[in-house]
Amino acid sequence: MLRGFYTAASGMLAQQRRTEMLTNNLANANTPGFKADQSAVRAFPEMLMQRMQADMTPTKDGQTARRMIPIGPMNTGVYLQETIPSFNQGDIRSTERSTDLAIINGTIPTNPETNVQGTLLFAVQGSDGATRYTRNGNFTIDSQGYLTTNDGYYVLDDTNNLIQPNSNDFTVDNSGTISTMNGPLATLNMVYAENPMNLVKEGNGLFRSEQDLPAAINNPDVSFKIQQGALEQSNVDTGQTMTNLMTAYRTFEANQKVIQAYDRSLEKAVNDIGRV
């Protein structure tokens, strides 16, 4: 009976974490460039249950041993193994703001080993000075004239230097080259992640990579276009997310009722059978 407690409790924990993930997806449904998380739920290893027979089986040395009768396998619960972001491109929405930039995917190779399509990202400078990556092109000009994210992270050019247009009066062509009234200023550092599953979410729409990602501009297998005055919306499917959220909630309730049933059985065993 106690095994059933653990099995049902593990199911509740997995569904609770899945609910938190889906709730976070819904909360960021209107966040530009947000990539929805997907869960991978995995079962614990099964155990082979056996029953000990009352009759004894003789052995070669004259001893006797209880006979084991196989009953069958028993599952021991599930756990949320990991959350994996989906890098499918979101819808493109026009904003008519010169500092808003959207990445429009062109030709993006698919990794033959993982069957996962790569992704393109902007490179920005994190608060610790290291490079971070994002799909959120909702940029702005700070008080010193630098191009930054709304959270204050500097946008980097193809030489990993800061970009300083000094005003909103600039243009960006399809390849990511920024030009002002004085001519070309810099080219955005567009990077290509061959396996986006290796990227780690850090919040604020930022991703971290253990190794610096290669440039996408000089990659002959990759094509893209930068659209100025537009933003990529999140790729959260609100309808499907709500359905998954209700399913997770009902599964949580089902496991909760199993635990309540076990608890009533134990209470009866202690109070009634124990009294006899």
User: What pLDDT does 54 receive?
Assistant: 53
pLDDT for residue 225: 93
CA distance 34 to 28: 7
Predicted local confidence at residue 78, as pLDDT: 82
Whole-number pLDDT of residue 138: 94
- Tens place of pLDDT per residue across the chain (276 aa): 577 778 888 888 899 999 999 999 999 999 999 999 988 877 777 777 777 665 555 556 656 666 677 777 777 778 787 788 889 999 999 999 999 999 999 888 887 777 888 899 999 998 888 899 999 999 999 999 999 998 889 999 999 999 999 999 999 999 999 999 889 999 999 999 988 888 998 888 899 998 889 998 888 889 999 999 999 999 999 999 999 999 999 999 998 998 888 888 887 777 776 565
Query: Cα-flanking dihedrals φ and ψ of residue 74, to 5°?
Result: -135, 130
Q: What was the pLDDT predicted at 203?
A: 83
- The Cα 241–Cα 2 span in angstroms is 34
The reported pLDDT for the residue numbered 274 is 56
| pLDDT for the residue 128 | 86
* Residue 169 CA from chain centroid, whole number: 36
- What pLDDT was estimated at residue 267? 79
Domain range list for the chain:
2-54+67-82+237-273, 88-232
Name the pTM for this structure: 0.79
Distance between CA atoms of residues 107 and 118, nearest Å: 10
Dist CA 128 CA 139 (whole Å): 19
Q: Find tokens 């966040």 and name the residue.
A: 31
User: What is the residue whose two structure tokens read 């010169």?
Assistant: 98
Query: What pLDDT is attached to residue 179?
Result: 93
Burial 232-253 (b: 16+ CB within 10 A, else e): bbbbbeeeebeebbeebeebbe
